[in-house]
Homo-oligomer: A and B are copies of this chain.
């Protein structure tokens, strides 16, 4: 029998696979805070070829995602399959002479997102997240308007690793927060089972289309990073907490490109 499926599990039909190949589509609600951390520690988190800005410039981003895939309508049809929460660190810098970002740590709450991320080179792990959802009516929640305070937090195995908030002051048109606009450089890494060397080890970049943002709300950020036995993000304790952002965002991923590590580095094993 020919087993089919872009990922495991494969079957005669491929219907049980965790996810289909791209194109994938994303529509999300973002809360993000820019900050700076110890520049040396930030530099420790990037691959060969990626040059951090040098001042420890980072962003932390939370997003409630709705996602879809051209090859599998069940992802958009079933909110249990297509919706998930994501929290990630972005390090700002340049790669190949152009502005770029690197995501050293990222947590999600679904297996589709976890595996889709690992395939692209996002270093995803599972985490529990909560994030203020904007409301349109009444007094039960928070609106996207000046004075609205949007909070978010992420925990891993019961340890709070990120606690963040943005209090909106104004709408800013034609602004792209750097935390969400960066072109990301990833490491695709998949171990072999029969030898120590990895089966896959390469830099990669996503091919992104139709990137758009809604009204960009600017505000004052708050950010605390917490310690965990299993995480290292607390090493990036903020030295300055800067701008905060609340916005809708959408884009598609149509595929990606691979960059052999030998080309990107000076011999480091990356």
Contacts and interface: CB of A to CB of B under 8 A. Distances in A.
Nearest to A250: B138
Contact of A229 (B27, B78, B192, B193): B78
A34 interface: no
Interface residues of A, number: 114
Interface string A229-270: 111110000000000000011111001111000000000111
Interface string A179-218: 0000000011111111010011000101000101110000
A248 to B, nearest CB: 5
Contacts of A130: 78-80, 83, 157-158
Contacts of A65: 140
Contacts of A121: 8, 193
Contacts of A258: 192-194
Interface stretch (A39-47, A53-61, A92-100): A39-47
A220 interface: no
